[in-house]
């Protein structure tokens, strides 16, 4: 019996692995060889695995310079938070999406790199029902007086121009 107790004491506790946050892909012009949402998520996953921006960018077929250019994009807030989490190895505070990001969040959703024991395994796309319901509520409020008010019509087109 004493032999069992000694082996139980020697066993190491299970290691805690990093969970990368879901993020809103940086909106860019659609190009087959560019930074698609899936490539952005693969980059973050490979960045967490390798710890090197140059290696991660090279593994997805893009340059280090283009990765830093993507990071400087004005709409890259949640992407930067995921990048910081991947490099630091520590979970950051959850990114709070702004009101301006609500519609893209409702339409495209977020992407999340999936890791298993420190190795990048794939990308998961997550839809946001909360953002969709909030966008519908915004549309409902904006169209409440749209029949008689031309200013409200312009506001609706400004908010939801891509959908109309």
Number of domains in the chain: 2
Q: What is the pTM of this model?
A: 0.70
CA 159 – CA 162 distance, rounded (Å): 8
Q: Map tokens 């090197």 to a residue.
A: 52
Residues 120 and 140 in one domain: no
Range(s) of the domain holding residue 92: 37-127
**pLDDT per residue as tens digits for the range 129-144:** 888 888 888 878 877 7
pLDDT at position 73 over 80? yes
Residues 136 and 154 in one domain: yes
In-domain check, residue 140: yes
pLDDT category, 149, cuts 50, 70, 90? low
Residues 121 and 148 in one domain: no
Q: Map tokens 């004491």 to a residue.
A: 9
Residues 95 and 77 in one domain: yes
**pLDDT per residue as tens digits for the range 17-55:** 778 888 888 888 878 888 998 899 999 999 999 989 999
SS3 content of the chain, % helix, strand, coil (to 5): 50, 10, 40
In Å, how far are 107, 135, 137, 149, 159 from 141, measured between CA atoms? 19, 10, 6, 13, 11
Residues 147 and 116 in one domain: no
Residues 123 and 137 in one domain: no
């Amino acid at each position: 019996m004493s032999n069992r107790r000694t082996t139980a004491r020697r066993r190491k506790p299970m290691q805690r692995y990093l969970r990368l946050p879901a993020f809103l892909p940086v909106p860019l012009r659609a190009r087959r060889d560019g930074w698609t949402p899936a490539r952005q998520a693969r980059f973050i996953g490979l960045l967490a695995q390798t710890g090197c921006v140059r290696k991660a960018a090279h593994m997805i077929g893009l340059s280090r310079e283009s990765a830093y250019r993507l990071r400087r994009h004005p709409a890259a807030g949640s992407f930067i938070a995921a990048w910081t989490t991947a490099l630091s190895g520590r979970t950051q505070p959850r990114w709070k999406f702004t009101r301006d990001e609500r519609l893209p969040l409702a339409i495209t959703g977020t992407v999340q790199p999936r890791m298993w024991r420190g190795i990048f395994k794939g990308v998961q796309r997550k839809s946001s029902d909360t953002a969709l319901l909030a966008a519908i509520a915004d549309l409902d409020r904006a169209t409440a007086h749209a029949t008689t008010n031309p200013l409200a019509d312009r506001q609706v087109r400004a908010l939801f121009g891509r959908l109309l």
